[in-house]
A and B are shown apart, each in its own frame.
Chain A
Amino acid sequence: MSSYRIQGTTGEWEVVIGLEVHAQVTSNSKLFSGAAASFGAEPNTQVSLVDAAMPGMLPVPNAECIRQAVRTGLAIDAQINRWSRFDRKNYFYADLPQGYQISQLYHPIVGEGHLDIDADEKAGILEDKRIGVERIHVEQDAGKLMHDQHPTRSYVDLNRSGVALMEIVSRPDMTSPAEAGAYLRKLRAILRYVGSCDGNMEEGSMRADVNVSVRRAGEELGTRTETKNVNSVRFVMQAIEHEANRQVDVLEAGGKIVQETRLFNPDTGTTRSMRSKEDAHDYRYFPDPDLLPLELTEAFVEDCRASLPELPDAKRARYIETLGISAYNAAVLTAEVETARWFEALLDQGAEAKQAANWVMSELFGALNRLGKSIEHSPVSPAQAAELLTLVTDGTLSGSLAKQVFEKMLETGDSAGTIVERDGLKQTSDTGAIEAVIADVLAKNPGQLEQYRSGKEALFGFFVGQTMKAMAGKANPAVVNELLKKALG
């Protein structure tokens, strides 16, 4: 149970949240037609006569969309239904040429599963928590309406019409905006690891319908509202916050919550009622007579299972237990599939795990942040990074020299070895040279030397600093320490 409560004027309220996530299945073509499913094409160029609902056109399901839904179900430990069926959900809207959406109401392809969110004290999630997933079903997306192109007309683009979606329905197991955010982030990570959805919320590949109700501690569930089509983790959290507070205000003023559909306004962070007609939700579902039931063989399901990659939780546990990486670093390195992929490529090139983890977390992330680049577009490749780290391990470069070399790698794209040779950035362990510099440093700082010898040992660091500075950072710090100790007696 999260510590999140709404403080009303009459007492504390708990919030109950369920999420229905629509995730676009990664596929080349649509769920029931051979038109392309990619994003951003010219309007109505990726529309077949099936998607435009021309009379006599028949849907034929895309095997890949079915496979990806099953793989997603397996990744959340869900029951895979060997027998499922498509139903028609009937309603009229300008973005739905068929007059019905082909969906799965009665017999979804994926049944009960779950995913785990991690404790995050700062966010008020006190312990790890399992969130139930009630079902995943496969359905068609609708087209897109544009209202700002013409004063009196709406423009309809059917490119999205018929693209495959997975609707992933959670149990109402979340009790704070932070838990809902953590659930969405975890779900997104799993989808991206599995490769069944690119998780790109800006392009609409993932959107959430947010169900919220409030109740006093220990009481029965309250009436819920559903806020439709919220398209970022932050907006979902805002929508919950606003909606829960609104409901508390209504209830405390003696009002009642109406079960209704609401819209989220990202500019104000508020929700408002969609004043649809009452019968808008009378969908009159019935089995689609154009489609036979979908039956999956054991072999198909086992192939799906065998094709799953190592998932985020398992990977993180392995990083901690087998590779000895800190819990925090392991969590960050496995949160995004691209980061984990890059990191593992670095290990494949022979880098030592803990050193590599620290370097990625501090140096690489720092540089990518500064450059505004994602890790897939890192200017330095895992192989180049591995070479740099090897030069640190074998003593050629000190930590600070490695930073300098890395900067130059980013600027020039040259390899670490080339830069070290060209710019003479090699660390020196030449005791004779270092001793000479130390003698010089001591001679130039007689005051500090006297203080040190009369007991102010903290000045040791000062001498190290002066020596390193005189050698332009190229002296091996371990050798400097050793020789200084000797010289200072």
Chain B
Amino acid sequence: MSVDHATVRKIASLARIAVTDDQVEAMVPELNNILGWIEQLGEVDTSAVQPMTAVIPNALRLRDDVVTDGDVRDAVLKNAPQAEQGFFTVPKVIE
């Protein structure tokens, strides 16, 4: 598996990361190196091995259904570039 210039641009755009042409140029071989290495791992037969979901045997912990948080509007809005009347505001997005 390998990526080309168009794929790198698409991945960048999906991740909302701006990349220059020079950067794309550098990134194509870099990413292909990584993909090549991953492919090498594929040579090991893992058909009898369960996918590892955690490094220590541990179960997902659940919490009780009680309200213990929220009501911190000022903190939530504190870093917003723009907020009005308790709302975040963003450039108009309408379909």
Residues on A facing B (Cβ under 8 Å): 27-29, 33-36, 42-52, 60-66, 85, 90, 92-94, 145-147, 149-150, 152-158, 263, 274-276, 279, 282, 284, 287, 291-295
How far does the alpha carbon of A287 sit from the alpha carbon of B60 in the complex, in Å?
A: 14
Residues of chain A with a CB closer than 8 A to B66's CB: 28-29, 34
8 extra interchain contacts, Cβ-Cβ under 8 A, other than A62-B64, A149-B85, A152-B92? A35-B69, A44-B87, A50-B69, A85-B53, A153-B84, A275-B95, A279-B10, A295-B60
Least distance between A153 CB and chain B CB atoms (Å): 4
A to B CB contacts below 8 Å, 25 in the list? A29-B67, A29-B68, A43-B85, A44-B76, A44-B87, A47-B73, A49-B76, A50-B69, A52-B76, A62-B64, A64-B65, A92-B16, A94-B88, A94-B93, A147-B92, A149-B87, A152-B92, A154-B89, A154-B90, A154-B92, A275-B95, A284-B14, A292-B54, A292-B60, A294-B60
Judging by beta carbons under 8 Å apart, are A153 and B89 in contact? yes
Contact B65–A62 (Cβ < 8 Å): yes
Does B62 have its Cβ within 8 Å of any Cβ on chain A?
yes
Query: What is the CA–CA distance of A29 and B66 in the complex, to the nearest angstrom?
Result: 6
- Main secondary structure, interface of A, reads loop
Bound form: Cα–Cα A43–B69 in Å: 15
| Chain B interfacial positions (CB closer than 8 Å to A) | 10, 13-14, 16, 53-54, 58-73, 75-77, 82, 84-95
A73 to chain B, nearest CB (A): 17
Q: In chain A, what residue has the closest Cβ to B53?
A: A293
Q: Inside 8 A of A44's CB, which chain B residues have their CB?
A: 73, 76-77, 86-88
Find B82's partner among A90, A153, A157, A287 (CB 8 Å cutoff).
Answer: A153
Structural contact, B90 and A153, CB atoms closer than 8 A: yes
If A35-B69, A63-B63 touch, whether A146 touches B90 (CB-CB below 8 Å) is no
Q: Is the CB of B95 within 8 A of A276?
A: yes
The majority secondary structure among interface residues of chain B is loop
- Structural contact, B84 and A150, CB atoms closer than 8 A: yes
Contact A147-B94, Cβ < 8 Å, known A34-B67, A279-B13, A292-B60: yes
Is A155 within 8 A of B88, CB to CB? yes
Are A153 and B69 CB-contacts (below 8 A) given A47-B76, A63-B64?
Answer: no
**10 closest A-B pairs (Cβ-Cβ)?**
A35-B70, A34-B68, A64-B65, A34-B69, A155-B87, A63-B62, A48-B69, A156-B88, A292-B60, A153-B89
The residue in chain A whose Cβ has the minimal distance to the Cβ of B88 is A156
**Min C-beta distance of A368 to chain B, whole Å:** 33
Interchain nearest-CB distance for A487 vs B (Å):
72
Q: Which residues of A contact B68 (CB under 8 A)?
A: 29, 34
A291 to B77, CA, bound (A): 27
* Residue in chain B with minimal CB distance to A86: B60
Q: Which residues of B contact A93 (CB under 8 A)?
A: 93
B86 proximity list for chain A (CB < 8 A): 42-45, 157
Most chain B Cβ neighbours within 10 Å, of A154, A276, A279, A295: A154
In the bound assembly, the distance between CA atoms of A45 and B90 in angstroms comes to 18
Alpha-carbon distance between A92 and B84 when the two chains are bound, in angstroms:
22
- Docked CA distance A64–B67 (Å): 12
- Report Cα–Cα, A49/B70, bound state, in Å: 8
| Given A147-B94, A155-B89, A61 and B63 contact (CB-CB distance below 8 Å) | yes
Q: State A43–B87 Cα separation when bound (angstroms).
A: 6
Chain B residue contacts of A62, Cβ below 8 A: 62-65
Complex Cα spacing A36 to B66, Å = 8
B92 contacts which of A29, A153, A263 (Cβ < 8 Å)? A153
How close is A42's CB to chain B, nearest CB, in angstroms? Answer: 6
Q: How far is the CB of A56 from chain B (nearest CB, A)?
A: 14
- Give the contacting residue for B71; candidates A46, A153, A279; CB below 8 A: A46
User: Which of these, B53, B70, B77, contacts A34 with CB under 8 Å?
Assistant: B70
Q: Provide the residues of chain A in CB contact with B54, threshold 8 Å.
A: 292
A293 to B59, CA, bound (A): 7
Q: Could you say which residues of chain B place their CB within 8 Å of the CB of A145?
A: 93
Residue of B nearest to A48 (CB): B69
Q: Is the CB of B63 within 8 A of A34?
A: yes
Q: Is there an interface contact between B59 and A292, defined as CB atoms closer than 8 Å?
A: yes
Query: How far apart are the CA atoms of A279 and B9 in the complex, in Å?
Result: 12
Given contacts A44-B73, A46-B70, A279-B14, contact A60 B63 (CB under 8 A): yes
Min CB–CB distance A111 → chain B (angstroms)? 19
* Complex-state Cα separation, A158 to B16, whole angstroms: 22
- From A45, A92, A152, give the contact of B73 (CB < 8 A): A45
Q: Which of B60, B77, B90 has most A Cβ within 10 Å?
A: B60
Complex interface: chain A residues within 8 A of B14 (CB): 90, 279, 282, 284
Task: Given A52-B76, A60-B61, A292-B54, verify A36-B92 contact (CB < 8 Å).
Answer: no
- Are B58 and A152 in contact, CB atoms less than 8 angstroms apart? no
Closest chain A residue to B87, Cβ basis:
A155
In the complex, the chain B residue whose C-beta lies closest to that of A83 is: B53
Measured between beta carbons, the chain A residues less than 8 angstroms from B64 are: 62-64
User: Is the Cβ of B95 less than 8 Å from the Cβ of A263?
Assistant: yes
Cβ–Cβ contact B70 & A153, under 8 A = no
Q: Which residue of A lies closest to B92 (CB)?
A: A154
- A42: which B residues are within 8 A, CB to CB? 73, 86
> Which residues from chain A contact B82 at a C-beta distance below 8 Å?
153
A201, chain B: closest CB distance, angstroms:
21
Instruction: Tell which of A43, A65, A147, A292 touches B58, judged by Cβ atoms closer than 8 Å.
Output: A292
